[in-house]
Amino acid sequence: MDEVASGRRVRAKPAVSAEEKAIIERCKRGDLAAFNELVKRYEKQVYNFAYRLTGNYDDANDIAQDAFLRVYNAIGSFRGDASFSTWLFRITTNVFLDERKRARAHPHASLDEYVELDESSVSRQIEDTSPTPDLVTEGKERAQILQDAIQSLPEYQRAVVTLYHTQQKSYEEIAEIMDQPIGTVKSRLNRARLALKEKLSPLRELFEF
């Protein structure tokens, strides 16, 4: 559960129930019924996370499926040092990043493509197709613009923003998921928020800056 104190949100690490531990142990023994149960528990979370990372349903479907396949292959090595949920998000993030690396190896021009995909990447200078303020008035559309702005961030920034602000993960969990020190996670998040501020500043009136 979250606790908001002095503007800082404290997020508790997810606990692994005894029931879930038993399911994981059965999965380690190759029990497909147990694996089916595990997928059932997490498919919505993983699919939504993949969707927020990729921005489209087809890619989210591929990434979520591959993530679960990778979980199946690796579950024997899951020691329980991290929570299963954290481990699952780490795998999903890695599948997403691997997929983008592969896509980079076989590039094809796209309006929303990035020249490089690490945190220092710079978007191609193509005509700005963002909606103008007079075209967007409803809160729903505002949320979509914010989501589009998140989508336009470099991959690592997009991942940390999604994990923190959409998936409600703590800095510690994100550090485990991204396999990065907490300091790196926090500085990437800060840079991502600064980048979002820049992206949204032309729409200042809409967002009541």
Partner 1 sequence: MKPERARELFSDYAEDALTPALRLALDQHFEADPASRAEYEQFARVYALLEAHEPGMVEAPLGFRAKVLEKVAAEQARREAAPAHRAAQTLTGWWRSLGSRRAGAGLIAALAACGILGVVLNSTVGHDQPARIGPVPDFTPAVPTTITGVTYTQDPAGSHYNFQIHLPPSVPSATVNADILTTNDQITDADERAHATPALTPAQTLTNDESMEIPVTLPQPAAAGTTLNMWVQWTPGDGGPTGAQVVFTPAQPTPATPKPLPAATDFFDALQYIAAEYGVTVIADAGSAPTQTITPPKGASVEEQLQSVAGAVGYSVVKLPSGAYEVTQPRQQ
Q: Which residues bind partner 1 (CB under 8 A)?
A: 6-9, 30, 32, 35-36, 39-40, 43-44, 46-48, 51-52, 57, 61, 64-65, 68-70, 72-74, 76-77, 81, 94, 143, 146-147, 161, 165-166, 179, 181-184, 186-187, 189-190, 193-194, 196-197, 200-201, 204, 207-209
Quick check: 181 and 206 in contact, CB under 8 A?
Answer: no
Q: How far is the CB of 138 from partner 1 (least distance, A)?
A: 15
Rounded CA-CA distance 62/54 in Å is 10
In this structure, what token pair is assigned to residue 84? 């299963």
Q: How far is the CB of 100 from partner 1 (least distance, A)?
A: 14
Distances (CA, A) of 115 to 126, 145, 176, 192: 12, 22, 28, 17
Q: How far is the CB of 190 from partner 1 (least distance, A)?
A: 4
Q: How far is the CB of 35 from partner 1 (least distance, A)?
A: 6
Q: Which residue number, 120 or 124, has a Cβ lying nearer to partner 1?
A: 120
Q: Which residue number, 36 or 132, has a Cβ lying nearer to partner 1?
A: 36
Q: How far is the CB of 112 from partner 1 (least distance, A)?
A: 18
Quick check: 91 and 71 in contact, CB under 8 A?
Answer: yes
3-state secondary structure of 46: helix
Q: Which residue number, 124 or 197, has a Cβ lying nearer to partner 1?
A: 197
Q: Which residue number, 127 or 138, has a Cβ lying nearer to partner 1?
A: 138
Q: Which residue number, 16 or 142, has a Cβ lying nearer to partner 1?
A: 142
Rounded CA-CA distance 58/63 in Å is 9
Q: How many CA atoms lie within 13 A of 17 on its CB side?
A: 5
Quick check: 92 and 50 in contact, CB under 8 A?
Answer: yes
**How far apart are the two ends of the chain, measured CA to CA in Å?**
30
